Amino acid sequence: MAKDIGFHETLSIQTLNQMIGWLKDGTLKPGDKLPSQNELVDQVGVSRTGVREALQMMAVLNMIEIRPGLGCFVKAISPDLVIHADVLSVLLEREAVEQVMESRKIIEAGTAALASERGIAEDFWKIEDVLTSIDRCIQRGDSVAVASAEFHITVAMATHNAVLTKLVKSFHHLMLNAGQLLESRVDNSVEFKRHELQSHRLLYEIIRQRDPERARKAMIEHIEYTEALILEAFHAGDVLDLATDSIE
């Protein structure tokens, strides 16, 4: 089984690099609609699984927009991202995603503990502002992904350790795109967003109680919940099926 997974990931990376080549040479431009999955299978010469996983990688890298019932469309992206996307794609393999989440648990468990010890009133006000932003996004019907990712950065800032803050900031792009992916996949996005608010609010309250060990455990549990959803969404392919099955 492990060998089969690795084989599919190799095909998906090859497919992703092929499509990145189309972006580089101008075959695909911002706003263009990508061929259907079946058409890509014929053009690239790999399995439907390899194509679907490659499209999911492009979505997580914020290179394409998935419009349910319509298909996948190229987004306006920076030249730098196109140049380095073939390197970044390696980070989207299952093993690497698990390693990133493992790293987050180690680092952010520490930031939660330190924030609980070192945070001052001003730090807590900033965290409360982020929670208010999440609440307002829900009320407006907007995505909470940006504010949810900002919450973790604000907690790191409360450690007053610049290195830790930079490390958490390095996860920002992954957290943001993962959050957007989950919002697009869940059956009830409003309920999901409310859970995000409640989960972050509970984590904040624990940090404020000045119990470093409890804050550490709470952060790990918080990230583990998200990790399970990310891995499920990343490999199920449900998001892409919703976008393309009706037009193939």
**Average pLDDT score over residue span 113-131:** 97
**Alpha-carbon distance values, 183 to 6, 23, 175 (Å):** 28, 27, 12
The domain over range 2-92 is classified in CATH as 1.20.1640.10: no
Band of residue 3 on the pLDDT scale cut at 50, 70, 90 = very low
Share of the chain above pLDDT 70, in %: 81
90 vs 37, more confident: 37
Q: Give the pLDDT confidence score for residue 188 in this predicted structure.
A: 86
152 pLDDT more than 90: yes
**Average pLDDT score over residue span 144-168:** 95
Band of residue 246 on the pLDDT scale cut at 50, 70, 90 = very low
**Average pLDDT score over residue span 92-101:** 67
Q: Which long-range contacts (CB under 8 A, 24 or more apart) does 121-128 make?
A: 123/154, 123/157, 123/158, 124/158, 124/204, 124/208, 126/154, 126/157, 126/158, 127/151, 127/154, 127/155, 127/158, 127/204, 127/207, 128/204
**Alpha-carbon distance values, 207 to 24, 111, 118, 169 (Å):** 46, 10, 10, 19
Question: What are the tens digits of pLDDT across the range 213-230?
Answer: 999 999 999 999 988 887
Calculated CA dihedral for residues 177, 60, 165, 224, nearest 10 degrees: 80
Dihedrals phi, psi of 8, to nearest 5 degrees: -65, -40
Q: Give the pLDDT confidence score for residue 238 in this predicted structure.
A: 44
Q: Return the top range by mean pLDDT from 5-19, 68-82, 101-115, 167-181.
A: 101-115
90 pLDDT more than 80: no
Query: In 3D, which of 197, 183, 125 has the Cα closest to residue 154?
Result: 125
Question: What are the tens digits of pLDDT across the range 11-40?
Answer: 777 788 788 888 777 888 889 999 888 888
Q: Give the pLDDT confidence score for residue 13 in this predicted structure.
A: 74
CA atoms within 13 A on the CB side of 90: 3
Q: What number does CATH give the domain 94-234?
A: 1.20.120.530
Q: Give the pLDDT confidence score for residue 211 in this predicted structure.
A: 96
Q: Give the pLDDT confidence score for residue 26 in this predicted structure.
A: 81
Q: Give the pLDDT confidence score for residue 236 in this predicted structure.
A: 56
Q: Is 65 helix (H, G, I), strand (E, B) or coil?
A: strand
**Average pLDDT of the chain?**
81
In whole angstroms, give the CA distance from residue 190 to residue 213: 32
245 vs 93, more confident: 93
Global pTM exceeds 0.75: no
Report DSSP state, residue 32. Answer: P
Helix (H) or strand (E) segment spanning residue 199 = helix 189-208
Q: Give the pLDDT confidence score for residue 242 in this predicted structure.
A: 38
Q: Give the pLDDT confidence score for residue 115 in this predicted structure.
A: 98
In whole angstroms, give the CA distance from residue 181 to residue 60: 7
Query: In 3D, which of 116, 123, 130 has the Cα closest to residue 201?
Result: 130
Share of the chain above pLDDT 90, in %: 40
Domain boundaries, the chain: 2-92, 94-234
